[in-house]
Amino acid sequence: MTSTPVQGDAVRLLVVDDSPSIRAVIRAMVEGDAGIQVVGEAGTGAEAVEMAQALRPGVILMDVQMPEMDGIEATARIMASVVVPIIAFSSFTWGAEAKASIEMLAAGALDVMAKPDLGAAGAVRDCSSLLRKKIRSASRVAVVRHLRGPVAVSPKRRVLETPSDSRRFEMVGIGASTGGPTALRELLSGIPVGFPFPILVVQHITKGFTDGFVEWLRQHTPLDVRAANEEDRAAPGSVLIAPEGRQLEVLPDGAVRATSRKPRGVHLPSADALLSSLASAYGPKCIGILLTGMGSDGAEGLLDIRNAGGLTLAQDEETCVVFGMPREAVRRGAVEKSMAPASMAELLRRTAELSEPGKAGGRA
């Protein structure tokens, strides 16, 4: 356990890894950057909790798998008390550790990235550039306290209005970024087997972790969750996740395309691309949802859905890790209702009942 004084306005970084050699590599990756200074190193999760309280760093870079106390437990303890932006630093982008990295996001970590392959030419250089960018980005986020256990739902109990009986829906599109895994878990875990609408999801996540995210999400919902294929079809009760490096778009007949196109803005996949395609293909018969995240991706697409007569929902500020994307959608007049993810699940259940043939007010 070591600490270093810091000067100026540099981001105060705490490095946590049980390998001294990896900690040395991390130091080397940020050395020379006047905007970032390592103020401490911890070799265990328990040390990380102590140093987070003592040093109050601006960002913590934390290993996932460590002896005695892993990164998940350390993140949960820190986010229940000190509240510091945490980046999960993983050795693997597949298998159990990839899912453990997503668990760290659910415990309150802001982001996840893979450790460099030290034997690959240029890997450390490329990782260094990405790491510095992520550290700066994380340092600007006003993170919220995460209590232990399931994410707490707002104590304010709302009586939800169900959309007018004149509207019938057939498809749901969701966009999410920072904090999205937890919000998606809360939303999708509240939707039962037999849900009649397909659900398409764009979640911004670091390259290499999509498969782990899909596997993790499967554990928290009764719905059929999988990554979309290049040419796919949306089925009732299915959740198709946008694959890495491809835009996810839907056609009027329910066909889904995961195409390798240029980014929309800076995002590939993009929530705007998905939601705009929904508006074009399904018009008033689609539901667009925008969850927590940095930036403005999804705001334009959600406005397209609202202008087409569809239902548009955004996560409320109280339950967002980062209110950026929903705030921009609200600013543009794209949001019909704002609420917590659990309330969204309840509204979707009610809406689905009205849209099913034979239900009261439903289609004959």
- CA–CA separation, 287 vs 354, rounded Å? 14
Residue 301 pairs with which residues in a beta bridge? Answer: none
Judged by DSSP in three states, 284 sits in: helix
220 among known catalytic residues? no
CB atoms within 10 A of CB 15: 27
Active-site residue flag, 70: no
Report the interhelical angle of 20-30 vs 123-139 (nearest 10°). Answer: 80
Burial degree of 7 (CB within 10 A; 0-12, 13-18, 19+): exposed
Tokens of 43: 């070799």
**Among all chains, which residue has been given the structure tokens 């309330």?**
343
**Identified catalytic residue from 272, 297, 304, 316:** 297
Catalytic option among 90, 128, 139, 177: 177
Return the H-helix or E-strand segment holding 136.
helix 123-139
Active-site residue, selected from the candidate residues 128, 204, 238, 270: 204
Instruction: Give the pairing type, strands 111-114 and 337-339.
Output: unpaired
Structure tokens at 25: 């590599």
Reply yes or no on whether 177 is catalytic: yes
Q: Residue 245 has which token pair? A: 């490096």
For 361, the token pair is 């007010």
Catalytic residue numbers read: 177, 204, 297
